[in-house]
Amino acid sequence: MAEKFPATATCLCGAVTIQAAALSTKADACHCGMCRKWGGGPLLAVDGGSQVTIEGAEHVTVFNSSEWAERGFCNRCGTHLFYHLKDLDRYIMPAGLFSDAEDRFQFTHQIFIDHKPAFYEFANATSNLTETEVIAQFAPPPK
């Protein structure tokens, strides 16, 4: 089980502040096409759980990127703020938002590993999940 701790982050312009009551110390990389298109490369992220408070919510724009998840960003400066799993009410947030806590993170997982382009490779030994394995774990059951 990952250690969890309270942490606070802001967007680039400071209009949005995010407080996570139980931020995970495990950092993951997502190689799916949407994350790579969203941020220009793999999303390096930490699990913020469901106890997340957002101040300045009027500056957050949310995009429904799939049936089960939405992505939020600051509509003033464009900072990527979260990937929110709707049914689980779980916030996955870019690790870089929490620059004051980066020394606490451990890079442990890579997901959508079968979508990772060949032009980069991480040196860390991690556990890896394919698209099929991720969908089975997080997608809601068929209706």
Per-residue buried b or exposed e for 28-56, using 16+ beta carbons within 10 Å of the residue's own CB: bbbbbebbbebeeebbbbbbbbeebebeb
4-138: CATH number: 2.170.150.70
Q: How much is the average pLDDT of 119-142?
A: 88
**Vertex 21 angle, CA 17 and 27, to 5°:** 85
Q: How much is the average pLDDT of 44-70?
A: 96
Per-domain residue ranges of the chain: 4-138
pLDDT of 112 reads: 97
Q: Which 8-state DSSP code applies to residue 77?
A: T
Q: For 72-112, write each residue's pLDDT tens digit.
A: 999 999 999 999 999 999 999 999 999 889 899 999 999 99
Q: Which residues pair with 85 in a beta bridge?
A: 69, 90
Q: Which residues pair with 61 in a beta bridge?
A: 73
